[in-house]
Amino acid sequence: MSYHKVLTSTNTSSAHLVSYGAIILPLHPKHIKSKDFTKVLSSSLGAKTAQYLSAAAKARQFKGEAGQCLAVDVSPTQSVVLAALPENFMAFDLLGFARAAAGHGFEVKATKILVDLRNAGPNEDELLADVFTAVVGAKRYQPPRYGEGANKSKPYLPKLDILQAQERTDRIKFAASRSANEAEATNLVRYLAELPPNELTCKSYVERCRELAKVRNLQFEFFNYGKLEKLGAGAFLAVAQGSSHRDAGIVALHYKPKSAQRHITFVGKGLVYDTGGVNIKTGNYMFGMHSDMTGSAVALSMILHAATEQWTESVSAYLAIADNAVSNTAYRPNEVITSLSGKTIEIVNTDAEGRMALADTLCLATKEKTDLVMDFATLTGSAVRAIGTRYCAGYSNRNNLRDLIVKSGRESGERVWSFPLDEDFGDCLKSDIADTKQCNLSGGVDHIEAAYFLKKFINHDTPWVHIDLSAAENDGGLGHVETKTTGFGIRFASRFVEKWRSL
Ligand code: BES
Ligand code: ZN
Ligand code: ZN
């Protein structure tokens, strides 16, 4: 059962309103500023509350400037939030607006929240249903906690009711239910990314994938160490060999609806820990590297989401699960490795392990023809330096998909900026001894070069999108998400696929 419900105005009288700890009223600034303000409020909340509210707004000098919110306690158990709609209806800003408006309800720990969308225009109400559902969904996230924090208080799990005009029901229901499913998928990414590395080992991660696959009826396949050796996945194994556990491998999940016409493949970097290997990370740079598996969590969560939403395409997800450890068996710079594709790679820096693991995983994932492959990876520090942690960096081997990347980022509120992949970016990867260098350490643009490197390992010239997850972590959260671990990727990818379908 979902945490949200869509109500139509005919089945809700003001008598029902008492059960809500918070009522959010998104209103146009022109409504707030108009002489009929009390009338507008009255149609939503009844005359008594309306009068009380408009007096409170006046007393507190609430002008209703675009984007401003005012929370008024109308009874000991109820707050009403007057939320002046922003002028700019860009998804990212709207998510932030909804987070601020709903935040007043969260502050008073309202377990039932109502958002009344009857004063918003058509289209606006759909967008608002989406963002408020996303915000409440994100708030329901339960992070992993150990020790005292684990059994402190009972979790806060707010519920959302959306009130709207009858003729808009189908559209609102669609927007809200998609958003709730995306929120659930995003929360799974956040949770997996926050798990400590002694909890999420290669072995336990693979088991979690197996369990989740079972729940959603997905086919589960595991290319374990031995299988990958037989296949000749030297690039993946070069990274994996530093760990004596031999528990690394590639998980492949498959969702197969009846009579699917097209196939979509998600791929993800799943480094359960990145020490850097023998090029060990120094200073503070290692701290936090348990979340170097975030890309795989996005790929995993996306295929689960596809099953939930009953996509008509068949979908696969390939997760490159490994541990970049330091040991006397770890791979070293100057080694030459033969990858699954047969291409040889000159190792330059063992900390560029993500592209090694992904090279073989992309190659394996595209052995069978697919119509679209999207990979997600916390691949380069250079992407963070280039674009920061509020946007992700996107790449594609197709021009039309490059445009789609930017549009989907804008419309989902998970923003992605597109970077170029022209041929000359590959010049610096030329090797004297092997088919390609792994990376180039002399002041280039490693995020672009890493993407260029990955492109070499895709079979059949498959349409491909690569997302370097620079926004996987942002201090203070991002958009509707309040934690540093943002779970970035699900809303973006879900919108991307929608747009890709109608290309
Ligand atoms: N996992 C890191 C990239 C990373 C760093 C992601 C910080 C998020 C935050 C990756 O494996 C890495 O270490 N890349 C190196 C590549 C370099 C050696 C060419 C980097 O960016 O320093
Ligand atoms: Zn690394
Ligand atoms: Zn890494």
Only one residue has tokens 């059960």, namely 19
Q: What is the pLDDT of residue 12?
A: 56
pLDDT tens for 218-269 read 999 999 999 999 999 999 999 999 999 999 999 999 999 999 999 999 999 9
Q: How many CA atoms lie within 13 A of 146 on its CB side?
A: 5
pLDDT band at 299; cut points 50, 70, 90? very high
The mean pLDDT value for 162-191 works out to 95
DSSP state of 246: -
pLDDT tens for 118-176 read 999 889 999 999 999 999 999 999 999 999 888 777 899 999 999 998 888 999 999 99
Q: Ligand 1 centre from 344 Cα, in Å?
A: 22
Q: Ligand 3 centre from 20 Cα, in Å?
A: 46
Whether 71 and 80 have beta carbons less than 8 Å apart is answered as yes
Give the active site residue among 281, 402, 410, 499.
Answer: 281
Short-list 35, 37, 42, CA closest to 27:
37
Q: What is the pLDDT of residue 20?
A: 97
Does the Cβ of 161 fall within 6 Å of ligand 1? no
Q: What is the pLDDT of residue 152?
A: 74
Torsion sign, CA atoms 298, 248, 336, 317: negative
pLDDT tens for 401-444 read 999 999 999 999 999 999 999 999 999 999 999 999 999 988 88
pLDDT band at 13; cut points 50, 70, 90? low
Higher local confidence (pLDDT), 45 or 182: 182
In one letter, which amino acid is 247? D
| CA-nearest residue, atom 22 of ligand 1 | 381
Q: Ligand 3 centre from 383 Cα, in Å?
A: 12
Q: Ligand 3 centre from 387 Cα, in Å?
A: 18
Q: What is the pLDDT of residue 150?
A: 85
Give dist(CA 138, CA 412) in Å, integer. Answer: 15
470 CA: nearest ligand 1 atom: 8
Is 355 catalytic? The answer is: yes
Alpha helices in 34-88 (DSSP H): 37-45, 47-59
pLDDT tens for 347-365 read 999 999 999 999 999 999 9
439 CA: nearest ligand 1 atom: 19
Which two structure tokens, joined as six digits, stand for 16?
């029902």
DSSP state of 46: -
Only one residue has tokens 């850097």, namely 276
Provide the angle, in degrees to the nearest 10, between the axes of the packed helices 294-308 and 490-501. 50
Q: Is pLDDT above 80 for 327?
A: yes
Q: How many CA atoms lie within 13 A of 164 on its CB side?
A: 25
pLDDT tens for 476-489 read 999 999 999 999 99
Which two structure tokens, joined as six digits, stand for 135?
């915000």
Give dist(CA 303, CA 85) in Å, integer. Answer: 35
User: What SS3 class is residue 409?
Assistant: helix
In one letter, which amino acid is 495? R
Does the Cβ of 449 fall within 6 Å of ligand 1? no
The mean pLDDT value for 29-38 works out to 92
Q: What share of the chain is helix, strand, coil (3-state, %, to 5)?
A: 45, 20, 35
Counting residues of the chain whose pLDDT is more than 70, the rounded percentage is: 99
Give dist(CA 469, CA 481) in Å, integer. Answer: 16
Short-list 51, 161, 157, CA closest to 116:
161
Counting residues of the chain whose pLDDT is more than 90, the rounded percentage is: 92
Which two structure tokens, joined as six digits, stand for 321?
């699960």
Give dist(CA 249, CA 336) in Å, integer. Answer: 21
The mean pLDDT value for 42-63 works out to 93
Ligand number, closest to the Cα atom of 275: 2
Q: What is the pLDDT of residue 166?
A: 82
Q: What are the strands of the beta sheet with 69-75, ordered from one edge? A: 4-8, 159-164, 112-116, 22-27, 78-84, 69-75
Does the Cβ of 473 fall within 6 Å of ligand 1? no
Q: Is pLDDT above 70 for 270?
A: yes
The mean pLDDT value for 65-93 works out to 95
Does the Cβ of 351 fall within 6 Å of ligand 1? yes
441 CA: nearest ligand 1 atom: 19
Q: What is the pLDDT of residue 49?
A: 93
Q: Ligand 2 centre from 270 Cα, in Å?
A: 12
pLDDT tens for 206-216 read 999 999 999 99
Provide the angle, in degrees to the nearest 10, between the axes of the packed helices 399-412 and 91-107. 30
Is 269 catalytic? The answer is: no
Q: What is the mean pLDDT of the chain?
A: 96
Give dist(CA 407, CA 313) in Å, integer. Answer: 22
Q: What is the pLDDT of residue 15?
A: 64
Residue of 353, 380, 437, 486 with the most ligand 1 atoms within 8 Å of its CB, for mutation = 380
Whether 292 and 375 have beta carbons less than 8 Å apart is answered as no
Torsion sign, CA atoms 471, 475, 481, 487: positive
Dihedral of CA atoms 126, 265, 447, 471 in degrees, nearest 10, equals 30
The mean pLDDT value for 94-115 works out to 97
Give the active site residue among 355, 437, 455, 491.
Answer: 355
Q: Is pLDDT above 90 for 107?
A: yes
Give dist(CA 469, CA 467) in Å, integer. Answer: 6
Q: What is the pLDDT of residue 11?
A: 55
Short-list 306, 341, 315, CA closest to 434:
341
User: What SS3 class is residue 218?
Assistant: coil
The mean pLDDT value for 15-30 works out to 92
pLDDT band at 14; cut points 50, 70, 90? low
